[in-house]
Structure 1
């Protein structure tokens, strides 16, 4: 049982040892202590290494943990073995350095006479410390002047760090090459621990303040592979290289890519995406152009005053379409508001060959928001919110929950607040056994939080069978819509051909859950109202119609709306009557499952 005077401290991201995941850091009586999460034993000293020995069941320095899981014990033993190997390697390297001849020691330390004919190049101070464009003094004979004492000191530190890094993590002892870089004495493959590589990348991201989302960049994996393919001895570019030649080449590559995109618009068509962002003071619209080759950013517009009326918004959209080329644009996608709907309708009248489409993601998100306000769901959602709110507001309870769920969170990320309600409900259903084990454990019963009214309410809710049955029912109803929202927001593939079938599956799930028409029709009406609120969506209908996997699997249930939408697309995009007749003939073959279409 945890004493009331004990305060659980958060474990920072800088603590990378794997043993930190299996202990608590506690402040008690003015001292910081560590506690094993399995047997709750307190450690007053020895640090994380003592905890690791305790979990690995090493006899001697620490008592063996009687409750540690076998996989945790093996992981801690593996970590201790790795530390022992590294310690022996460090001692061996120190002995090797001790037997070096004085000349070698002098070379490693960087204490070389500048007047000698050594091949070691003096590194300018501005490249080491990035102090701008500081120039080195040049003697009359054209040779570089010796560095000041401070520069020599910085040079020695740099080389010492390079040497230690190479020795500790790259196996054989390195030597100084003719070009002044450190190279290995042996070219044999060296075993580098994968976790060490991950930790090195992580330390760079944390120290430089790089957003962790950077690892999701499409260029992250190619960068790592390029570094690994080059091997040791890579001379890293400087700050000035990245802001100079490298940046210039990257800009040229991007411009060539954008020109390639633009060249395909006349052949494949394109879509203009108006991504609107609102703050307390401003409304910004990011205009992007999508085509099968990729998506390019066009411009960002401060539309605070523009979105106030449909006339000004129409003028803005018209100007963007004219910049891209009316004959290249298939559709313009904007927000779902009434102002955007009016402006979009006027746009289709001005340019008869393009469509205006309200955002499908906003539509599906609106459906989920409407569902969350239904009487049959609102009570369950609010109860689930109170459960997660209590756990996440109390650190000891949160740590206890993480212990029983094996580190899993109750609130996984979601694309919107509306979707978050149902994603969290699904996650709760998946973890209900772990939560039930937590509130029925001796650890929870002895916890002071189990005596508080909020803790009692949380425990009663977790063991309430009707609550979990309600969560499961809501999950079955909303799962198709949540999946569809994830698909629409995904960048992996175009989702237009899947929206209709996603809505169809959502309706079917609701019908199977309620059975009675009077019970499921209110949900169906909400879906239809959100989807049909503005103009018809012929492009979505055509996307479904021309997707063979979906079309042939539901051919007997094709609605008139889908067939009508396909015809609307033909009439708007192909004004010639003869070509329309030819397309209609091919569509008849398509309907009849004829695989070979006429080539003329």
Structure 2
């Protein structure tokens, strides 16, 4: 990043390094002098733009993350890619804050590798307590709930057990069914939305393409996916359950219109769907509603339909005769 070129060459002290670990944006500015007459605020210089201002870490965040209305101008040198990197640094610090490691008390059990996979807790010599099979509850959870075995490779699943094993948290209870499907789910969604915010800021500059496709999930429910595609990458918006709905051109165009309003009509350049007649008719309706938005058929679906028609059984004999005539093998077969 640009900050690495203009950062101070002095080596950070342990206290300064601790401050950077907690507030990572400090490394992208230079602390000039502490203003005693202003409540302990610092005089700060931006390493990207060489702008000097007075304030605390909140103003550093506002300047670098381009948050307006915080008493400091936003940095014009922070591009979209730099802004994404700064937000990732902030997210990494927040993740580490949630994983506070608490030292364990002395253990009364010794670890011994088990031939059955994993370590078994065996009592020390002289203890009458039986060994604890800590793999058994996990194995039963997988078997009773029908969890796929590859779920054991999930890094967040492994991380949760590692965190619990490395911390003395006797009163901790895993989140319940309702918490997982309500508050925690909303919290994770808000976290994802914050990470995607820098990409959304580029929609006004270059415009977006809305891509839609229908599919059926493992429960045989008909779904329609909606995604937004830009130069910075695709972003999933939502999936609509169309079970019990009559999927005519008016219904499909209404779904597309809802997504256009969500993204902002001024940011949309085109809409891409497959080549089904109902989707084409819906695309025509969208073009009449918004004169600047174009409907484009999916190229992959077009090629798929063409190849499927060419390779159909009714066309196989004609295709064989054509290929023979093109390659000149037909005359050889006639002579023989």
Structure whose alpha-carbon radius of gyration is higher? 1
- Would you tell me which structure has more strand in proportion to its own residues? 2
TM-score of the two chains, using structure 2 as the length reference: 0.44
TM-score of the two chains, using structure 1 as the length reference: 0.27
Higher relative contact order (CA 8 A, sep 6+): 2
